[in-house]
Structure 1
Amino acid sequence: MKVVILAGGFGTRIRDVSEDVPKPMIPIGPYPILWHIMKIYAGFGHKEFVVCLGHKGNVIKDFFLNLRARTRNLTVDFANDGEILFHDEVEALDWKVTLVDTGQTAMTGARIGAIREYIGDEDFMLTYGDGVSDVDIGKLVAFHKDSGRVLTVTGVRPPGRFGEIVANETGIVSGFNEKPQTSGGRISGGFFVATSKLFDYLEDRDDLVFEQEPVNAIVADGQLAMYSHDGFWQPMDTSREYRLLNDLYKSGNSPWLPKL
């Protein structure tokens, strides 16, 4: 199953960490958070990615084009037409990464609509390029298939500044409030699974916010399910959260990374 990652936003709330790179490229340890997110999915066997680019998308392209050079010792033999010899062995990546320019100012719904040709009629996974979790992707996908709904969202219990999801005991959603004043239940942690019918809810306009009109229409049709996750989930929206994730990584406690 393909994994779509929204990586085109401006990340205005974390500019005090770095203004030179797009938010998904802000590092946790030696690798950008985008790489960590992909490692989560790859750990469950999902290794084909479609990355929706926008703000400074060229930085993300450069990262993947030069990934081998960034992570391995090498020799450049200029006497032999600039031949590059890689010396050390590192973990082999068998990922397939499609990088799609979805527009500089497009909102999330428009970005998803722009990659329809790369998905076709298959189910796919969808998440944001700024949050990590130890969610069991296998169980999430199985739950989605059993629900028979168009879209499944992972519901988590984080700080109250996020929106709230209201669901019944079977996991069918009756309310999706992106930014309520108070929150006592679960909120969207990203890590969605969708059928291709999701594209039917997306209008062709740059200002379309996925979490607003499309998701509310899906809720109204009874087609949004919630997979409850009580484990680790952490976004990187602020410099404090950036430091938190990096401190966890440096301590050797990275609960989001698959145990090999």
Structure 2
Amino acid sequence: MKVIIMCGGKGTRLREETSVKPKPMVEIGGRPVLWHIMSIYARFGFKDFVLPLGYKGEVIKQYFHDYNIRNTDFTVELKSGTIISHPGHVEDWRVTLCDTGQETLKGGRIKRIAKYIDSDRFMVTYGDGVADINLHKLLEFHKQSGTIGTFTGVRMPSRFGAVRTDAAGKILSWEEKPVLNEHINCGFFVFERRFLDYLSEDENCDLEKEPLQQLAAEGQLSMYPHPGQWQCMDTLRDSIKLNELWDSGRAFWV
């Protein structure tokens, strides 16, 4: 089953990092967040990735082009230019990298790489979020739902405290950063292949708008409620938090 990881956005809220690299290449513990996301899928046996590229996509291409050399010892025969790689640990992943346009939105990017989707079902996620998700349970939930698409929902803690008062303004309760009742979409999608018919190659085709709204209107979209943890890398604050979790041995997605 193919896993599509969206890698084309500009990451404007993380300009401290994304002025020189795409957001999926921002590092956690010395490895791109993209690598961490791929590792989550690989642990469940999903190792065939398609990466739709856009903003600074050449950085991601170069990273995987040089991946073997970066992660193994090698010998260079200077006269002939021959490079001999020595045995070492390199992940057994298959990665297809596709230019899908600088300004293309996510739905258009998926449609533009449709030729690389050779199965009846495929997975999609964003290139900036990690979770302690059980992908086998997600997949089974999707199969049982019988719908064309399934996304993963999480309940997030509020960034602020919540205060409840009576009509006179007297405090009835005070809760610091409560967990919100609503679920938010954190990615980790599963789609049947026929979802591609809901997409177009137009650069303005946005995944979360018409395509998913249409699925929902037709009763063809389900939500898998993830009970665990999820964290995106959307801002510098997020980047610092994720690296603190990694450095302290509390990386929940490992």
Normalised by the shorter chain, which TM-score bucket? 0.7 to 0.9
Aligned equivalent of 1:201: 198
Under a length normalisation based on structure 1, what TM-score does the superposition of the two structures give? 0.85
2-structure distance, mates of 1:89, 1:78: 22
Aligned equivalent of 1:75: 75
Q: Which amino acid aligns with 1:247?
A: E
After the TM superposition, which of the residue ranges 69-78 and 208-217 deviates more from structure 2?
Answer: 69-78
Aligned equivalent of 1:217: 214
Q: Which amino acid aligns with 1:207?
A: N
Unaligned runs of 5+ in 2: 160-179
Please report how far the alpha carbon of residue 159 of structure 1 lies from its aligned counterpart in structure 2 after TM superposition.
Answer: 4.9
Q: Which structure has more strand as a fraction of its residues?
A: 2
Does residue 253 of structure 1 match 2:247?
no
Report if the CA contact (8 A) 2:12-2:18 is conserved.
no
Please report how far the alpha carbon of residue 88 of structure 1 lies from its aligned counterpart in structure 2 after TM superposition.
Answer: 6.7
1:151 pairs with one of 149, 168, 187: 149
Does residue 235 of structure 1 match 2:232?
yes
2-structure distance, mates of 1:200, 1:160: 37
Please report how far the alpha carbon of residue 147 of structure 1 lies from its aligned counterpart in structure 2 after TM superposition.
Answer: 0.6
Aligned equivalent of 2:170: none
Please report how far the alpha carbon of residue 86 of structure 1 lies from its aligned counterpart in structure 2 after TM superposition.
Answer: 4.0
Please report how far the alpha carbon of residue 253 of structure 1 lies from its aligned counterpart in structure 2 after TM superposition.
Answer: 2.2
Q: Which amino acid aligns with 2:215?
A: I
Report if the CA contact (8 A) 1:160-1:184 is conserved.
no
SS in 2 for 1:153: strand
Aligned equivalent of 1:111: 109
Report if the CA contact (8 A) 2:123-2:190 is conserved.
yes
Aligned equivalent of 2:172: none
Q: 1:55-204 maps to which residues of 2 (within 5 A)?
A: 55-79=55-79, 81-86=80-85, 89-90=88-89, 92-159=90-157, 184-204=181-201
1-structure distance, mates of 2:59, 2:226: 32
Under a length normalisation based on structure 2, what TM-score does the superposition of the two structures give? 0.87
Aligned equivalent of 1:180: none
How many residues align? The count is 234
Deviations 1:92-114 (A, max 9, x none): 31111111111111001100111
Deviations 1:173-216 (A, max 9, x none): xxxxxxxxxx7410101000000111111133111111011111
Report if the CA contact (8 A) 2:131-2:229 is conserved.
yes
Report if the CA contact (8 A) 2:120-2:193 is conserved.
yes
Report if the CA contact (8 A) 2:2-2:46 is conserved.
yes
Identity %: 48
Aligned equivalent of 1:174: none
Aligned equivalent of 2:50: 50
Q: State the Cα RMSD in Å.
A: 1.6
1-structure distance, mates of 2:107, 2:84: 43
Q: Which amino acid aligns with 1:211?
A: E
SS in 1 for 2:156: coil
* Rg comparison, structure with higher value: 2
Q: Which amino acid aligns with 1:240?
A: R
